Amino acid sequence: MSESTLRIGVLMPEVLGTYGDTGNAIVLKERARRRSIAAEIIEVGLLDTIPESLDIYTLGGGEDTAQSLAAHKLREDPGLMRALDAGRSLLAICASLQVLGRWYRDARDQRVAGLGVLDITTDPQGSRSIGELVSEPMLEGLTETLTGFENHGGGTVLGPEAQPLGRVVKGTGNGTPEGCEPAPIAYDGVVQGSIIATYMHGPCLARNPELADLLISRATGLDLEPLEVPGVAELRAERLAMLGA
């Protein structure tokens, strides 16, 4: 952590807030605060300069037009790129996962250049994946089943530098671009360097506190004691029971 306060960035909430993913920053702040770690949320709007020295960055999902604005901003403003070069953590959800890749093709068949920090490409799946998404984590440090909801038309293919976040138990996750053979095993998300990206909304960190704590732990260098927040275990149990997962 650069200063005594954990600084959590929410980038472009006015275009990437459609699915409630700005809640991820609130969860990070609250889980830090309950452990007596001072934390603040810094909202960085579309017209603001992206600071390069925040401790954790969060990016949310959005629809195609909003997503292309975000892609343009991230290509023009070097702030996030510099932060990633310095190894700072980034959590990216759905549309942002796609934007961080080499390129994505949207529902109108427009190919949009991404930031190129994830070795992935995204094409339309030909249908929309909407519903619960459950996966078993593949990232070291995570043991608990990952749960969220997905709502996307894009299917993402990972290159050799990118690792999946989880092995899908229910739902689609990264999916299959139209015309491609579905892979025998379905995966969700992408892990590459200090970036964790996923198709899970929820907000993702409200549903998956272990992932929230991993991000706080990485940013602060602290080993965190377990923390029970009332309602969180019940929410997870209810969601997973509903699916029979």
Q: What residues make contact with ligand GLN under the rule CB under 6 A?
A: 19, 61-64, 67, 94-95, 151-154
Residue 81: alpha-carbon gap to chain centroid: 16
Where do we find the tokens 């290509």?
75
- Token digits of residue 135: 């996966």
- Tell the smallest beta-carbon distance from residue 187 to ligand GLN (Å): 16
Cα 139 to Cα 145: distance, rounded to the nearest angstrom:
11
CB-nearer residue toward ligand GLN: 32 or 90: 90
| Cα–Cα nearest to 94, from 168, 180, 188 | 188
CB-nearer residue toward ligand GLN: 10 or 95: 95
- Tell the smallest beta-carbon distance from residue 203 to ligand GLN (Å): 12
- Tell the smallest beta-carbon distance from residue 101 to ligand GLN (Å): 12
Cα 86 to Cα 52: distance, rounded to the nearest angstrom:
9
Q: What is the number of residues in the chain?
A: 245
- Tell the smallest beta-carbon distance from residue 184 to ligand GLN (Å): 23
Report which DSSP code applies to 170. Answer: E
- Tell the smallest beta-carbon distance from residue 93 to ligand GLN (Å): 7
- Token digits of residue 168: 């899908």
| Cα–Cα nearest to 98, from 126, 70, 137, 136 | 70
CB-nearer residue toward ligand GLN: 95 or 216: 95
CB-nearer residue toward ligand GLN: 55 or 96: 96
Chain residue at closest Cβ approach to ligand GLN: 61
Question: To which H or E segment does residue 57 belong?
Answer: strand 56-59
CB-nearer residue toward ligand GLN: 8 or 112: 112
